[in-house]
Amino acid sequence: MSRFVLLTEDTAFEHRVRAAIAGGLSGSLRALGSAIPDSPLEILAVSDAEPVEVLLLGPSVAQDEAFRMASIIDVQRPDISVVLVADATPETAIAAMRAGIRDILDPAANPDEIRVLVERASRASANRVKTPAPHGATSSGRILVVASSKGGVGKTTLATNLALALGRVAPMSTVLVDLDAQFGDVASALRLEPEHTLVDAVSGAAKQDSMVLKTFLSVHPSSIYALCAPSSPADADSVTGEDVAHLLDQLASEFEYVVVDTAPGLGERALAALEAATDGIFTCSMDVPSVRGLRKELDVAAQLGLAAQRHVVLNMGDPKNGLSLRDVEATLGTRVDIVVPRSREVALSTNTGEPLLQKTKRGRAAKSLDRLAARFDPARAAESRRGRHGLEVVK
């Protein structure tokens, strides 16, 4: 059973929340007034054994107080998802994410909309409950590194869509890192203008304090954070493999998912990322040089023991270019897990700065990208591994 706590004096909104929970969510609702005590954790005290999973800060709660309370809970009770009921202006969204609020709910939302959001927040809470870490381990999040041997294979497209999809699984607990420190495109792919970049995140106070590091991340409206590459390629030289290892460890201690977009090849930073990775997503396009390059990269990863779990993605699959899926797998010496077909919609989304999954889940390319994300969603992982997907596009 899960328990939901609501702070509000708006009786009409409370009735809609109760209707939402009664309409399909297990657990009960505890409604309180809008006043927040000096010690906010006091309001979470309950008289029974039901754990608090979701705290909704209703429309009558002052935003400054809501942010103060969320900041305290984010540090002391990260297992609780805090939902702010407010109009989702860009300024409010940024302040909410910095305070650790997991989602923003429209005050006019109907019971069905409330139910969907609360269920998502409850699932995020369950996923964040920490289990005992292995001896010597310091990180708890999953580090997903997207790698390729060559450029131009759609690596950033995979990384941005993967991060956006996982942001729906773990809202405000997913971060996308652009490790292509010279020519990274995450900022343009997400239409962001970052105040701080990778260089800032691996130096000074951010290197010493994970809370400071979080303030250096850019906020995307899809409920994810992003750490973008520096604007000048010359700045890349100041970021070492050791910096990358420390950064990813910091982020994995704060976020459920850390998605990493790397530069092509196996440079110092890419190797450090793959060494830290829980999962390596290795990708190539459907041409001979790209496939052969990925074969070499997979061989090196195996020899060095990099990325405990490996996932192979054939991107821009096209049955008219002279290669078949069987040809690709024979050259790689391994099975292709996901095929993402060539799509005009993908190219359009890249040029407009809106990842495809931000707009739709329809179409073969979007469905394939969503299935890739499903491999890392505990609720859908088993389904995503039932055979290969997208094979109909490359015979």
Among residues 238, 270, 250, the alpha carbon closest in space to that of 159 is found at 270
| Residue whose structure tokens are 């239409």 | 191
% of the chain at pLDDT higher than 90: 42
Based on the domain organization, do 182 and 224 belong to the same domain? yes
- Alpha-carbon distance of 155 to 276, in angstroms, equals 19
Based on the domain organization, do 100 and 196 belong to the same domain? no
Domain limit, last residue, from 106, 130, 154: 130
Query: What mean pLDDT is predicted for residues 363-372?
Result: 92
pLDDT tens digit sequence for 305-335: 888 799 999 998 887 777 889 999 999 999 9
Residue 393 in this model has a pLDDT that exceeds 70: no
In a domain, residue 338? The reply is yes
231 Cα distance to chain centroid: 23
Token pair for 1:
């059973």
Residue 384's pLDDT is 61
- Alpha-carbon distance of 327 to 287, in angstroms, equals 10
Give, as one character, the DSSP assignment of residue 390: S
Q: How confident is the model at residue 231 (pLDDT cuts 50, 70, 90)?
A: confident
Residue 375's pLDDT is 92
Residue 137's pLDDT is 41
Based on the domain organization, do 184 and 99 belong to the same domain? no
> Which CATH number characterizes residue 30's domain?
3.40.50.2300
- Answer yes or no: are the C-beta atoms of 257 and 173 closer than 8 Å: yes
- Alpha-carbon distance of 250 to 254, in angstroms, equals 7
pLDDT tens digit sequence for 248-300: 999 998 899 999 999 999 999 999 999 999 999 999 999 999 999 999 999 99
CB count, 10 Å around CB of 35?
A: 12
- Alpha-carbon distance of 96 to 99, in angstroms, equals 5
Return the sign of the alpha-carbon dihedral for residues 96, 97, 100, 101: positive
Residue 45 in this model has a pLDDT that exceeds 70: no
Based on the domain organization, do 148 and 253 belong to the same domain? yes
Token pair for 292:
């052969």
What is the domain count for the chain? Answer: 2
In a domain, residue 363? The reply is yes
Percent of residues in the chain assigned helix, strand, coil, to nearest 5: 45, 15, 40
- Alpha-carbon distance of 211 to 284, in angstroms, equals 36
Q: How confident is the model at residue 395 (pLDDT cuts 50, 70, 90)?
A: very low
Based on the domain organization, do 75 and 126 belong to the same domain? yes
Return the sign of the alpha-carbon dihedral for residues 175, 99, 2, 22: negative
Domain limit, last residue, from 130, 153, 178: 130
pLDDT tens digit sequence for 117-167: 888 788 777 665 544 444 334 447 899 999 999 998 999 999 999 999 998
Q: How confident is the model at residue 214 (pLDDT cuts 50, 70, 90)?
A: confident
User: Of 121-125, 154-158, 219-223, 366-370, where does mean pLDDT reach its minimum?
Assistant: 121-125
Token pair for 118:
């609360």
In a domain, residue 249? The reply is yes
Q: Which alpha helices (H) appear in 100-132, and where do they start and end?
A: 111-128
Query: What mean pLDDT is predicted for residues 341-357?
Result: 86
Based on the domain organization, do 124 and 159 belong to the same domain? no
Based on the domain organization, do 244 and 110 belong to the same domain? no
Based on the domain organization, do 146 and 108 belong to the same domain? no
- Alpha-carbon distance of 185 to 153, in angstroms, equals 13
Based on the domain organization, do 175 and 260 belong to the same domain? yes
268-276 helix and 288-304 helix, angle to the nearest 10 degrees: 60
Token pair for 147:
């790698």
In a domain, residue 390? The reply is no
> Which CATH number characterizes residue 148's domain?
3.40.50.300
Based on the domain organization, do 183 and 123 belong to the same domain? no
The residues pairing with 299 across neighbouring beta strands, listed in sequence order, are none
Based on the domain organization, do 167 and 107 belong to the same domain? no
Q: How confident is the model at residue 2 (pLDDT cuts 50, 70, 90)?
A: low
Based on the domain organization, do 103 and 147 belong to the same domain? no
In a domain, residue 148? The reply is yes
Residue 47's pLDDT is 43
- Alpha-carbon distance of 374 to 351, in angstroms, equals 25
Which stretch of DSSP H or E encloses residue 85? Answer: strand 81-85
| Residue whose structure tokens are 């020899």 | 303
Q: 387: number of CA atoms within 13 Å, CB side?
A: 4
- At a CB cut-off of 8 Å and minimum separation 6, what does 313 contact? 158, 281, 282, 283, 336, 337, 338, 339, 340, 372
% of the chain at pLDDT higher than 70: 90
φ/ψ bin of 65: left (φ > 0), alpha (ψ from -120 to 50), beta (otherwise): alpha
- Answer yes or no: are the C-beta atoms of 225 and 219 closer than 8 Å: yes
- Answer yes or no: are the C-beta atoms of 5 and 52 closer than 8 Å: yes
Domain limit, last residue, from 105, 130, 155: 130
In a domain, residue 161? The reply is yes
- Answer yes or no: are the C-beta atoms of 272 and 266 closer than 8 Å: no
- Residue 55 structural domain: 2-130
CB count, 10 Å around CB of 209?
A: 12
In a domain, residue 384? The reply is no
In a domain, residue 383? The reply is no
- Alpha-carbon distance of 84 to 97, in angstroms, equals 10
357 Cα distance to chain centroid: 13
